[in-house]
Chains A and B, each alone.
Chain A
């Protein structure tokens, strides 16, 4: 079963992001949404964890939620792809199930 994992909490506030990375099966996708998008900003303490994960997981971030929080797309950590709402739908459609890490 291929899964799309979504994380909507800041990695600095809650451990949802770390738990997701720990338990997501190889080859699945992780989409950062809402306050979860802060994990994707380069230069922070979380970027290294994203880089490690990106070798076995596909990591995406929702562009409109980045823009809402004033984070420019050119500051996103390596290994993370920006998607729009249509891309969110495509990801949901392309996987067998969505696992939402609240």
Chain B
């Protein structure tokens, strides 16, 4: 009966539909370009006022390590951009507990406030998303 999508409010056109987007980051920040590209996708979704969640797991937890200074190695430091996500109303940031702990990291190591979830909780989070993009 009720498997039709919810009807958007009258003041929203077709571009006003809000979906639940989840970006799952699994790569370290500088070895490949995936982390930077994912961050840009998050900002684009946020610019369209989508309901965005961002997950950091596996080596993706290194993306939000504090005190990154890649400039001396000739790379762009995009880590500060994660701090700007709050300004785009992207406030649902999650870190895999298992990934964090096996790398010897704690929440004190991160440059943004995150919620730490175990794999079961992350699985439940991903299950309720309409769009999941992993990189």
Given A42-B104, A70-B66, A10 and B28 touching (CB < 8 A)? yes
Number of A-B contacts (CB under 8 A): 67
Q: Is the interface of B mostly helix, strand, loop or mixed?
A: loop
Does chain B have a CB within 8 A of A101? no
Chain A residues with CB under 8 A of B73: 64-65, 67-68
With beta carbons under 8 angstroms apart, the residue of A10, A43, A64, A71 that contacts B65 is A71
Chain A CB within 8 A of B59 CB: yes
Total interface residues on A, CB under 8 Å, equals 23
Q: Do the beta carbons of A12 and B103 come within 8 Å of each other? A: yes
B65 and A12 form a contact (CB under 8 A)? no
In the bound complex, how far is the Cα of B28 from the Cα of A8, in angstroms? 12
Q: How far is the CB of A71 from chain B (nearest CB, A)?
A: 7
| In the complex, chain A residues whose CB is within 8 Å of the CB of B81 | none
Chain B residues with CB under 8 Å of A21's CB are none
**Interface of A: prevailing SS:** loop
| A38 and B69 within 8 A (CB) | no
Q: Does B79 contact A (CB under 8 A)?
A: yes
Inter-chain contacts of A47 with B (CB < 8 A):
104
Name 6 extra pairs, CB < 8 A, besides A69-B68, A70-B66. A13-B59, A38-B103, A43-B105, A44-B102, A67-B69, A69-B70
Using a CB–CB cutoff of 8 Å, the interface residues on chain B facing chain A are 27-31, 58-59, 62, 65-70, 72-73, 75, 79, 102-105, 109
**Residues of A at under 8 Å CB distance from B?**
8-10, 12-13, 34-35, 38, 41-45, 47, 64-65, 67-72, 75
